[in-house]
Amino acid sequence: MLDKFKDECGVFGIKPHHEAANMTYLGLYALQHRGQESAGIVASDHGYLTCHKQMGLVADVFSEEALARLPGDAAIGHVRYSTAGASLLANAQPILINCHHGQIAMAHNGNLVNAGEVRRRLEGIGSIFNSNSDTEVILHLIAKSKKKTIEEAVIEALSQVKGAYSCVFITKDKLIAVRDPHGFRPLVMGTLGESIAFASETCAFDLIGANYEREIEPGEMMVVNELGMRRSSRPFKEKPARQCIFEHIYFARPDGIMFGESTLAYRERLGAKLAEESPVEADMVVPVPDSGVTAAIGYSNLSKIPFAFGLIRNHYVGRTFIEPKQSIRHFGVKVKLNPVKSLIKGKRVLLVDDSLVRGTTSRKIIKMLRAGGATEVHMRITAPPTTHPCFYGINTPTRKELIASSHTVEEIRKYIEADSLEYISLQGMLDCLENSNPDNYCHACFSGEYIIGFPGQDKESMEV
């Protein structure tokens, strides 16, 4: 899938560790796929918090000199791609504040559906915001809390917001991890010797050599104190779990465990289910790299149609790439993907991708394959039609931009100029889960079944 969704965010935290900032840097490096817009780390050293954050990739933001200026035995970090708030340094995280509770910094993955409503209320009583990120709303609520302890202030603040939040907080002597009661976004816990670590995905633990222990449960707060001792609590009212199914389909790295499922194995089962539901005569199964690869293998294995890398991706295309002034047809896709003409010429191609949102990218890829000599191009999608936007942490387009919200599958097929087009069924997608309860998943982007409503004007503001 290429630029059809903006990535969400990744968070990491560790305490106590004598190289906390370095471990956080590595953890963020492993989570880079979750956000390439900005990166930041806040470290705690003898009760004082220090922050370094910039726009850009993790490896560009943090030099050896920058990490040396982040001493201490505890740290949190964040990689971001805007899901709420503009692409500005002011919105980069972690966000560090100083209030009557002392210094506190926060890194947040998710969207708050009532952020606008709460922000307007806070501004009405004199709060001044430095960003337009919904994360800052939580910190303002913490700063205004009259609770005696920082833990109580965090609980009080989070009790006033609605939506998705998987957060890590750092104070002068504590590391706090919290997941919202519905558990929309992932948050896992691991151990590295005597250290406790938190991350959006288990791949961060693999890189630093930590052992994955378990998920932070929906509605759970885990506090690591100054001695490195952890304490779990369930301070929020219990609600139905609604883990994001699209984490499995696209966002998560395939080498990890997400919501109790192997992401790699799940995607392979999606491909096999697609082959079962929507067979077609073809000469080769070709994935749209990289997220379509594993599903294409599953489709190939069940259908017995040979798998082939008929599209090669250029992994070195970055934000600083300069496009030539002269007009080149389909340049944006061509710079990222190139068909292997010697493989596809004269062949019937079965193209596998994880989703189809606006349809423009799929249309261009199919034209490239035909120009490369493919005689037929059949497309199979490992997600159901995306008919509704997500308001819980994935920056999908507005509903009017989602082609499946206003067009039939046949109309979409004609638009992308495929010989055939089929999506996996909603039930088929859920049936591919092996180790988790399908009822615990959010699939609102496919079904329109939102579990949290939108107060006031907030839904409209998020659709802009």
- Residues with a catalytic annotation lie at 9
Distance from C-alpha of 39 to C-alpha of 34, rounded to nearest angstrom? 11
Please, what's the b/e burial string for 196-223 (b: 16 or more CB within 10 A of its CB; e: otherwise)?
Answer: bbbbbbbbbbbebebebeebbebbbbbb
**β-bridge partners, 222:** 177, 232
440 burial type by CB count under 10 A (0-12 exposed, 13-18 middle, 19+ buried) = middle
Distance from C-alpha of 32 to C-alpha of 10, rounded to nearest angstrom? 8
Measured from the Cβ of residue 73, the count of other Cβ atoms closer than 10 Å reads: 20
CA 142 vs. chain centroid, Å, equals 25
Place of tokens 């934000």: 319
Place of tokens 């910190």: 139
Q: Lay out the sheet containing 376-381: strands in order across.
A: 284-287, 348-353, 376-381, 420-423
State the first-to-last Cα distance of the chain, in angstroms, to the nearest integer: 23
Q: Which two tokens stand for residue 227?
A: 């001695």
Give which of 74, 161, 150, 46 is closest to 110, Cα–Cα: 161
Place of tokens 């900032």: 21
